[in-house]
Structure 1
């Protein structure tokens, strides 16, 4: 390829097809016709000496070569966008864009309503999306879903990622109102569930991966006990609903329990064992750090999440690599 004569506009087309997996959708993203995008793809194939995409059903699947240049290409385009951005201060009232967040449905309850209200008032042309986490590898959600920000439990992450601590969260036990076994034991909401009863009653476990053990089980193992997990669900809303309509119980983050308990008839107790509260962090690709819209959204989300913190303090926001064995299931 002769780079001196190469049309750099074709790079935007390549990036759009990589993002969308379709010439039609890439055209919509770039405000181009489908035929124009197909023509640009033909020129790209000729210039780069690679097929770039092969059709698989209704989608275009990138070749190994196209996949290998996807992230470097996006980084360069992001740098150019920052380089040529107007020097004026970022104005959220006129800014346009879409910001994609990958996280559990905990944040559908605890973040998105407040963020919706904030965006309506301060940035009416910025759209927010919440998408699922990739099971077993939450960091990969940033790449698989082209997400701008991942909100996940503290864990190791690769060199291309940057993190910021948000909040610690303790666990509580949720049960349906007037749970027969807890009532028979004379327990009142807010009290500690005795260990024998905690291990005897069936549990619902939040686990996007479908695991039957998690942080609560690790805490029990440290004191030589086991609980009876009867069901796993990949979303907190399902966990809470299953508990509300059965005699099963569950461990969930305290903030979520206090938010939904009055709505669906739950009661809140404390577990009999000590569970170290996990640190929830925000993680993003370093290529986006200087992007004005990304920076503005990070600051807004951090501001909305910090009041949830239960710890005495947080690690320095400058700490990039946080090591932990925390996981996403409870």
Structure 2
């Protein structure tokens, strides 16, 4: 390849094809026509002497050669953006771009409506996307550009990850208003341990696991509970509780959000449980990227308003 004659604009097309897996979607991302993107792909194939992508169903899948270029191309484009951008010149009203947030459906309920309202008013050309938070894969998703930010419980993290503490999320017990198992209890009182363990539970578990942090807390005091069902999303847990006599442990913020509309009652758990600290994490390569930094700050400000402590 003759680098002196290589059009560096083609790298933006290559990056968009990596991210979107489609010439149509890449053209929308770049604001170009689909024929223009296809023409650029042909030029890239000629310049690099490789097919770069092969069609698999409706997607373009990178060749091994192209896959080896993926992260290098994205890193270099990020460096050029930082080189040419000034943070104090960032204008959200004129900004265009996509920002992917990896998180559970907790954030679909409590973050995205407020973020949608904020972006509509302040950054109308920005697209925010909430994508699935896959356990044990969120670090890799940040590394391979599948997410720009992940919202997770605090944990040990590698040195290349940046983090920001956001809010505390205590867990509470929920039951439907007509559940006879809690009829004699006052709202926000502590549910008796024997009753809590005997009543059937629905558990939030994206992977279908039959135990979670509540079970670990029970194990510390030599007890266990009756997990009768698992559901992969928090909103589904709430719907199961609304429609049955199952109970559940969920974040207090969600319990309060759904309390009236789902006719839920809220109780304190009978065993000691750590309050979950939620943090935002991202790849440190984006620490100073103006667009990503602005978007993170909007998310962080909204998340901090979710901080909650249980009534005593």
Q: Is the 1:134–1:140 Cα contact (8 Å) retained in structure 2?
A: no
Alignment of 1:157-306 (within 5 A): 157-183=157-183, 186-306=184-304
Structure 1: how far apart are the matches of 2:98 and 2:153? Answer: 24
Q: CA deviation at 1:173?
A: 0.1
Structure 1: how far apart are the matches of 2:150 and 2:3? Answer: 36
> Please, what TM-score do these two structures have when normalized by structure 2?
0.92
Range with greater deviation from structure 2 (163-172 or 33-42): 33-42
Alignment of 1:47-86 (within 5 A): 47-85=47-85
Range with greater deviation from structure 2 (144-153 or 188-197): 144-153
Q: CA deviation at 1:87?
A: 7.2
Show the counterpart of 1:24.
Answer: 24
Q: CA deviation at 1:79?
A: 1.7
Unaligned runs of 5+ in 2: none
> Please, what TM-score do these two structures have when normalized by structure 1?
0.87
Q: CA deviation at 1:241?
A: 0.7
Structure 1: how far apart are the matches of 2:64 and 2:154? Answer: 32
Q: Is the 2:253–2:308 Cα contact (8 Å) retained in structure 1?
A: no
Report SS of the residue matched to 1:290: coil
Show the counterpart of 1:9.
Answer: 9
Structure 2: how far apart are the matches of 1:159 and 1:41? Answer: 36
Report SS of the residue matched to 2:118: helix
Structure 1: how far apart are the matches of 2:158 and 2:107? Answer: 24
The answer as to 2:92 corresponding to 1:101 is no
Structure 2: how far apart are the matches of 1:255 and 1:74? Answer: 37
Cα deviation 1:52-78 (Å, max 9, x = unaligned): 212111111112232232122112112
Structure 1: how far apart are the matches of 2:300 and 2:87? Answer: 25
Structure 2: how far apart are the matches of 1:37 and 1:111? Answer: 35
Structure 1: how far apart are the matches of 2:74 and 2:145? Answer: 14
Show the counterpart of 1:128.
Answer: 128
Report SS of the residue matched to 2:279: strand
Report SS of the residue matched to 2:102: strand
Structure 1: how far apart are the matches of 2:87 and 2:150? Answer: 29
Taking a change above 3 Å as real, the CA distance of residues 91 and 10 of structure 1, as seen in their structure-2 partners, is closer
Q: CA deviation at 1:88?
A: 5.4
Q: Is the 2:85–2:290 Cα contact (8 Å) retained in structure 1?
A: no
Report SS of the residue matched to 1:263: coil
Q: CA deviation at 1:156?
A: 3.2
Report SS of the residue matched to 2:305: helix
Number of residues of Structure 1 aligned to a counterpart in Structure 2? 309
Structure 2: how far apart are the matches of 1:70 and 1:264? Answer: 46
Range with greater deviation from structure 2 (140-149 or 2-11): 140-149
Structure 1: how far apart are the matches of 2:158 and 2:62? Answer: 23
Q: CA deviation at 1:10?
A: 1.6
Q: Is the 2:97–2:127 Cα contact (8 Å) retained in structure 1?
A: yes
Q: Is the 1:93–1:125 Cα contact (8 Å) retained in structure 2?
A: yes
Q: Is the 2:218–2:271 Cα contact (8 Å) retained in structure 1?
A: yes
